[in-house]
A and B are shown apart, each in its own frame.
Chain A
Amino acid sequence: AQKITQTQPGMFVQEKEAVTLDCTYDTSDQSYGLFWYKQPSSGEMIFLIYQGSYDEQNATEGRYSLNFQKARKSANLVISASQLGDSAMYFCAMKRGDWPRMGGNMLTFGGGTRLMVKP
């Protein structure tokens, strides 16, 4: 069974500083994908970044980068130059398979980390 663990229930970061949100995962699959989502207080889920298990380079999207360490089964999210609008819940998620597969590309989510950016 797949499992995602986010060990930081809440974190503070000073505006304009970088912050790392931790995510570890457990799977026996050789092929899988990892996602990070942002959930502001409005409740919507905003896609941030995706990393496939066979991708050799760490994914980056603007101020977001994913520090993928396959051997350690970790997929930490790094947010550079934090902004007040980054205050939200952040979820790490994993899907089985790095390509379309029968049985569905269901996502398994971690418990989330609440990030609070201080001015």
Chain B
Amino acid sequence: DGGITQSPKYLFRKEGQNVTLSCEQNLNHDAMYWYRQDPGQGLRLIYYSQIVNDFQKGDIAEGYSVSREKKESFPLTVTSAQKNPTAFYLCASMTGFGTEAFFGQGTRLTVV
């Protein structure tokens, strides 16, 4: 079955560490997105990519970085510059006509 796979499901980060969240899709979608969700809040856009080797900052890109070397993969790195990284991170891809966005199961990141 087609879908989006995020890993790991839970991730713990020590202060000052960089961590990378994986996002893989087999839906053949060009557009992929990373969102952050804080408890009781809506989703906020971190980065998005419309095509391989191209990506754009979203509303809260500071302290994050991404790459898009393959159509199927859009990993997110949470750097030590992100001062409050504890959150739920969701990866998404969108159909060509933009009528449906598919989401992964999410990664819950906690700073310890």
CB pair B41–A111 under 8 Å, yes or no, is yes
Q: Which of B40, B88, B101, B102 is A43 in contact with, Cβ under 8 Å?
A: B88
A43-B88, A43-B108, A104-B31 known; A97+B98 contact, CB < 8 A: yes
**Are A109 and B105 in touch, CB under 8 angstroms?**
no
Q: Is the CB–CB distance between A104 and B97 below 8 Å?
A: no
Is B45 in the interface zone, CB < 8 Å from A?
yes
Interface residues of A (CB under 8 A from B): 4, 33, 35, 37, 42-45, 47, 50, 52, 91, 93, 95, 97-100, 102-112
Question: In the complex, how many residue pairs between chain A and chain B have their CB atoms under 8 Å apart?
Answer: 67
- State which of A33, A104, A109 has its C-beta within 8 Å of the C-beta of B99: A33
Which single residue of chain A is at the shortest CB-CB distance from B102? A47
Q: Is the interface of A mostly helix, strand, loop or mixed?
A: loop
The B interface is mostly helix, strand or loop, or mixed, namely: strand
Contact, CB under 8 Å: B56 / A43: no
B42 contacts A104, C-beta separation under 8 Å? no
Please name the residue on chain A nearest to B98 by beta carbon: A105
> How far does the alpha carbon of A109 sit from the alpha carbon of B88 in the complex, in Å?
15
Interface residue? B90 (CB, 8 A): yes
Which residue of the partner chain B has the closest CB to A108? B45
A47 and B100 contact, Cβ closer than 8 Å, known pairs A104-B48, A106-B48: yes
Hey, which chain A residues are within 8 Å of B105, CB to CB? 42-44
- How distant is the Cα of A105 from the Cα of B29 in the complex, in angstroms? 12
Interface residues of B in 8-27 (CB under 8 A from A): none
Chain A positions within 8 Å of B100 at CB level:
35, 47, 50
Please tell me if the beta carbons of B99 and A91 are within 8 angstroms of each other in the complex.
Answer: no
